[in-house]
Amino acid sequence: MKHLLIHSIGRIDLIVWLAVVMFFCGSSLLFGGDFQLSFIGAAGVIVEMLIIGICIEIIIESLKKKKGLGTITGFITNGPEALCLIVGLAVGDILFAASTPLGSNFMNPILLVIAALICGTFFSVFKCHPRYTVLTIAITIIFAVSFFLIPEKYYLWWAISVLIATIVLFFRRPEETGSGAEEETLFETDIWLIPATIILIGTGYFLDPVVGFAAEHSMAPKGVIGFFVLATLSSWPELKTCLSLLNRGKTLSAILNITVSNITNIWLAVVGVLIYMFAH
């Protein structure tokens, strides 16, 4: 487990952690926030980011010898969005319920680019099935935008049309070759796979309110920079997964992690819309 902890913490993690403290604590000093609560909030964000990083390393190590690693992680990292959808449906607010999974479709491709730039693999990512990648990302973003532009009476038609299109995209995804059986593994058992997945989903779900707590008490600016920072932190599970996969040389898996995540976000919204329509 010691080797796993070391493996899950890289230079980028330390830089981001320092940036988190400087951003929230600096904002509290500049804009008259509560410095102590800002520091506590920043520390909470860092702890959650550390837990998420460890869980992702465990999941990837457990699944690295299986085909379809990018597809599997694409499903798993959408766990927090699924929890947000359930909470929104529980209070009867379909726009709130669908906003988290559909909103992630905008941030996911940005995270892939950021991860590729950090890992120095931008051109490898750009050359890996570019037509499918761009088409899938563009279509899923258009579907996400269209949901918020149509009247409620067209929700059912929206759900049917986007479901058909995304199912086609899912089954047309590039095939991941190679099982990775020749790779060195940090541990030989996958007994931690299910616990790590549960912890990842729970931690990812609570990351957003913890970030919100830090932002509230630091009086962080509400402009574009503040939004971008908060959105990136809230999407740390997806970014960390892309970083881990790209660092392992699994370019296609990293891409599929994002495209499958976008497709799954559409499916989550469709499920939410159908439940909402039948319940009201």
Structural domain including 142 reads 2-179+188-279
How many structural domains are present in the chain?
1
Per residue in 221-243, pLDDT (tens digit) is 665 455 556 666 777 888 899 99
How large a percentage of the chain has pLDDT more than 70? 88
- Mean pLDDT highest for which of 4-8, 97-101, 229-233, 240-244? 240-244
* Average pLDDT of the residues in 44-68: 88
Give per-residue pLDDT as tens, 135-145: 999 999 999 99
Which pTM was predicted?
0.85
pLDDT single digits (tens) 170-219:
999 999 875 544 555 555 556 888 999 999 999 988 888 888 888 889 98
Report how far residue 276's alpha carbon sits from residue 278's, in angstroms, rounded to the nearest whole number. 6
Q: What does pLDDT average to over the chain?
A: 86
